[in-house]
Amino acid sequence: MKNNIRLKEQDEYFMNIALQEAAKANHAVFPNPKVGAIVVVDNNIISSGYHKCYGEEHAEANAINKLNSSITNATLYVTLEPCSHLGKRNPCTDIINSKMFSRVVIAANDPNPKASGGAEILRNNNIEVVENVCTEKSKKLNRRFFTFFEKKRPYVILKIATTLDGFIAEPSGHSKWITNEKSRQSVHKLRSTCDAILVGRRTIETDDPSLTSHGYGKDPRIIIFDSKNKNYKKYKVLDKNPIIFSGMDLNNNPQENIIHVLSELYSKSYQTLLVEGGGETISSFLDSDFFDELHIYYAPKMIGNGKPLYTGYNTLAKDYKLHLHKIDHFDNDIKITFHKGI
């Protein structure tokens, strides 16, 4: 029993190092997850690697390619189940040789049905496989990826810019600019990490936004939520080939509309959706509980009257299960990021 406890502790120790390796990756890996791998022989790390960019070598290959082929009885720690399918690269299971590796320790199984099954293949190749070591940490590192495949919808981020007294615009709808330039640059960077961005009809009519990343990375696909079937020919978004969900697609039930939109975006493989709509759109997502992160930018301004950030109907008893993730400062603006608990 003591040996089993020590081995479990050892596996967790090395998996945490593999997770640190995975965390070196950035959003260039999208739509793939961030994955790290280390090779251990006699309790010593002799190689490491992580997935750096979509289309390039996976973490396992980056770690294994550094090795001398004469090694034996090694353990491979990898933060996601080695893939078993032919994609941009050959299956990772093909390069995990039983002559070199006697054990493979996996943090989480791959939720993508096209790539899963690697653990079984390795076992059939006479390699001992240990699964579910530091699973929750692996899933948190790839929250977007796991949400997409497990919940069959995009990972949803709600973004709000507000005054200290809770208004997102003046009574007329004018909202340029509540936050400062550094805060807006932060939003542009956030957009570059998302593959779709959703706004409501009124946001288009009032602000005529470009909704781009402003050069910080790729531009997200624009999604418009419009129950009134408006014509957008005079607005900037027309040049961006937006996807418009109009009254023909929607009904009078906001939650059902959101389910429909998320289902459609899932079918089109949009993994992360940033919602930058006005109070009505944001409130619909808050009331539906179909969101995963809440990003609120507070500017040191008060206007006393205007468009509130929330227009729904809730009580103090409502628990959104929000967990404070991070607080950022952009000069005198403050950004608070919450992650939604399960």
Query: Among all residues, which ones are annotated catalytic?
Result: 60
Token representation of residue 16: 């945490």
Contact between 18 and 107 (Cβ < 8 Å): yes
Identify the CA nearest to 47 among candidates 65, 29, 73: 65
Contact between 323 and 187 (Cβ < 8 Å): no
Cross-strand pairs, 327: 336
Contact between 306 and 167 (Cβ < 8 Å): yes
32 to 77, 84, 148, 197: CA distances (angstroms): 18, 14, 11, 19
Element (H, E) at 45: strand 44-50
Neighbours of 326 (CB within 10 A): 10
Identify the CA nearest to 232 among candidates 240, 212, 254: 240
Contact between 262 and 156 (Cβ < 8 Å): yes
Q: Coil, strand or helix: which one is 74?
A: strand
**What does the H/E/C string look like for 145-181?**
HHHHHHHCCCEEEEEEEEECCCEEECCCCCCCCCCCH
Cross-strand pairs, 162: 298
Residue type, 229: N
